[in-house]
Homo-oligomer: A and B are copies of this chain.
């Protein structure tokens, strides 16, 4: 890599910079809105230097990471694209993707991103080179996305320790609404409901403590997340309300048998959730022969994501000219490998499978 630009050098951007520099993927140029923070960014080791303007920061960079707050990404990324050449990939790290990708996703150089990593404390002083180790990093390419740039971005993400996973932006936001945004909404609800009772009892029940840990998390950040994903979140809230209406019916019946079977259903769901966390298996390699059409890599990555296949690793051969070529992807477990073969074959590509090593 000839150069990485990090726009916004806090916990997330600073950790990208630290990880890149530690692995020799730099130089890393930063940009921060408040120039008085520039020295601290360099001292922390997150960047080699801080450029005076966003435009100078992205100059000559092969990869631009926009690591500003969710509400500011669209404007910052648009400026970065404007200032960048054809060979630069611009990405971001925001928790919501649909609005952003609708606005910028037709540019072959823009790929939305969302690393599933974070920490309790913000700021460049909390940044760590190992923040992304073994964490999932969602990428939201579109049919316009350049295959070569997608490949470069996902290689970089792997190089700093994370696991890139392609997903459609709308689906990403809908899934995040259910697994992350709704839990935050319910935590807010619970803390309001549980506070008077806790005051009354002089004690906080462990279930309430757990369920409200994230209540009222950083209001500025979460306001932007909720606002940019308001459609999916309000839909998820609607689902939760329906589910609570059912719970009220079941519990209101005061029938222990009926309540127990409702409780068992939740128990089974909980087991299924635990299994997702412990999924693993031997690694298989698929080699896919592909024509060099724009978007073919993104198409395959998205189709595999839709089929529930998690790509552990990926490489392009020959890269980067791709007159025609092969894509190798690695997936974990026989089941994933079988699904991947079926899915890629279904797209009309020739696939060979080696594996189980």
- Segment at the interface with B among A10-18, A56-64, A207-215, A317-325: A207-215
A138 to B197, CA, bound (A): 14
- Segment at the interface with B among A78-86, A147-155, A176-184, A295-303: A176-184
- Segment at the interface with B among A30-38, A43-51, A104-112, A187-195: A187-195
CB pair A205–B183 under 8 Å, yes or no, is yes
A269 to chain B, nearest CB (A): 4
A206 to B198, CA, bound (A): 24
A65 in the interface, Cβ–Cβ < 8 Å? no
> Which of B202, B262, B272 has a CB less than 8 Å from the CB of A188?
B262
CB pair B224–A256 under 8 Å, yes or no, is yes
Chain A 248-291 against B: per-residue CB contact (8 Å), 1 yes, 0 no? 10011111110111111111111111001101000000000000
CB pair B175–A276 under 8 Å, yes or no, is no
A264 to B185, CA, bound (A): 12
A176 to chain B, nearest CB (A): 7
Cβ–Cβ < 8 Å partners of A210 in chain B: 183, 210-211, 213-214
> Which of B190, B205, B253 has a CB less than 8 Å from the CB of A186?
B190
* Contacts A203-B116, A256-B224 given; does A237 touch B247 at CB 8 Å: yes
> Which of B202, B222, B279 has a CB less than 8 Å from the CB of A259?
B222
A254 to B233, CA, bound (A): 11
List the interface of chain A (C-beta within 8 A of B).
71, 116, 136, 138, 165, 167, 171-172, 174-180, 182-205, 207-217, 219-220, 222-224, 226-227, 230, 233-234, 236-241, 243-245, 247-248, 251-257, 259-273, 276-277, 279, 308, 310
